[in-house]
Chains A and B, each alone.
Chain A
Amino acid sequence: MEEIEKIIKMVYGFFKKKESFSFKFRCPDEETLGAFLEGRISGFKSKRIQRHILNCKRCIQVISLFDLKETRNVPAYLIERIYQIIEEKKTLPYIFEIVIRLKEKGLSIIRSGADVILGNEVLPLAVLRSKNIEELNQELSFVKELDNLRVEINLKKKEEEKLDLTVHLLDKKTLEIPKGLSVSLFKADKELESYYPVKSRLIFEGLSPGEYELRIEKDLKELGKIKLEVI
């Protein structure tokens, strides 16, 4: 640093100590500060942030630390721990689980945590069993409520080893599709399809035997998962 810069630095430090600053604006949020540092903000907004920074010790610290001078490699054991943490966190309990067997003419229910719709009746699986209904028609419907959401799953046998899955989602009170919903179908942790429903009925076609997970989200937050096993 040149002599003159050293003098300016000293004088500026002295000036800062004497000057009393007032905070006119709240700290920009992390994303705004990031965008500012990446030169994505211009004009009046940029000038306003500059004025804020001149008066804010916290923001100035963040900016001073923003450019990394040295990169380090994270040890492998820490990566392993992170995977464990993610694994633990993502396992939200299922809203319900269904295990279905594909039969020659239809479908049979092995296990279900949701009630089964049979005609006009909604019956728990135990009741269904007590009625000796084992193999059902080409189509099965299950229903469960999740807070204000009514979740209905329809399974329809299509070809020999395939079935179609239909999902109905309705707000119990308004009888409309809640805004910001999305539904994704996963198989072995791989996303197969995702929808932002505009109609209450979503169809996932041609599911072959295997384990599936249906994830329902609202505004990118997971509301719940449904496990479906087709054997």
Chain B
Amino acid sequence: MNEFRTVPKEDKRLIQRCIKADKQAWDEFIKRYSNLIYSYIWSVFKEKGIPVSSSLVDDLFQDIFLHLIEDNFKRLSQYKGNCSFSGWLKVVVINFILDFLRKRQIPHVSLEENINDTEGLTLEDTLKDDKQVPQDEIFLDNEMMESLSDCIKKLNSEERFFVEMHIYRGISLERLKTILRISRSAIDMRKQRIIQRLKNCFRSKGFLLET
């Protein structure tokens, strides 16, 4: 059984007890989820390539807890048990940090200037919509790019989703097989099929590929 098949009903029961300020439930909550929250704060900064101090991580960690319990546990009450609590919490924490990064940037206008009180953040850092996608050594001129882009256009939405997620964003095949509810061998086959299709299309556009 993998982590994604935990029973949300059990999670929901724990959260209901937390909302009632049950001390034992909070002990369990902290045991289960504090490392997760803490790790995700570090991870978001790291993945986005933004330096962060441990004191800022500490502040954000506390702010996230406050965010969950303020206004009479309003945020925690929003968890309905349709996914695992950890799944919900991960999305909440990531959104919280992304919002924090976005808000921290508002008063600043320069793209390059380092901001003293934000651990070296620049506006450019937080505007990046994803982690750096390194530019490849292969050189293709614009004309060829335009031509090869037609092959991407021909992909159906499922195939495009696969290219976006796995090839462009680097999301693992393990995660994709879970999202798409298919087996590992089926996702491997899908990958081969899409790559082969694009290869054939690229060739038809006159792009020479090694076999």
Contacts and interface: CB of A to CB of B under 8 A. Distances in A.
Q: Do A and B come from one complex?
A: yes
Interface of A: 3-16, 18, 30-40, 42, 46-47, 50-51, 53-54, 57-58, 60-75, 78-79, 81-83, 85-86, 89-90, 92, 184, 186, 189-191, 215, 217, 219-222
Contacts of B109: none
- Say whether chain A's binding surface is mostly helix, strand, loop, or mixed: helix
Interface residues of B, number: 88
Given A32-B82, A54-B164, A86 B95 contact: no
17 contacts: A8-B198, A11-B151, A12-B164, A30-B95, A33-B91, A53-B161, A53-B164, A60-B130, A61-B94, A64-B131, A68-B36, A69-B47, A74-B37, A82-B62, A191-B17, A220-B77, A221-B73
A38 B4 contact: yes
A5 B34 contact: no
Nearest to A92: B72
Contacts, number: 235
Given A35-B87, A78-B38, A189-B23, A10 B136 contact: yes
Given A38-B83, A66-B90, A74-B38, A8 B167 contact: yes
Contact of B149 (A6, A11, A90, A221): A11
Given A12-B152, A38-B87, 19 more contacts: A6-B136, A7-B140, A11-B202, A34-B82, A34-B90, A40-B82, A46-B179, A47-B157, A60-B164, A62-B95, A62-B98, A64-B130, A64-B131, A65-B44, A82-B62, A82-B65, A85-B65, A184-B20, A219-B77
B19 interface: yes
Contacts of B66: 85, 89
Contacts of A79: 30, 34
Interface string B50-89: 0000000010011001100110111001111011100110
A174 B171 CA distance: 55
A60 B129 contact: yes
